[in-house]
Amino acid sequence: MARSSALVSAVLAGVIGAGRIAPEVVAAEGRAVVRRRLPLSLTFDHRVVSGGEATRFLAALIADLGQDD
């Protein structure tokens, strides 16, 4: 699986990078199951956003993306 990191330009506080959704074997309840996975990365300017704020944002985004609406 290819991974990358985005560069933050001077006018941005942060950038979210997303890879390609792909099936991947993961462990769930003691069994191997296939799930769709979306690699995400968050690059941000530490002068503008604290690490804690960035972590909470990314966790909330992951939770929202995981909802089956």
Query: Of the candidates 45, 40, 39, which has an alpha carbon nearest to the alpha carbon of residue 7?
Result: 45
**Rounded mean pLDDT of the chain?**
86
pLDDT 10s digits, 25-69: 999 999 999 999 999 889 998 999 999 999 999 999 999 988 765
Is pLDDT of 2 > 70?
A: no
Domain ranges of the chain: 14-65
SS in 3 state form for 8-49?
CCCCCCEEEEECCCEEEEEEECCEEEEEEECCEEEEECCCCC
Predicted confidence at residue 8, as pLDDT, reads 75
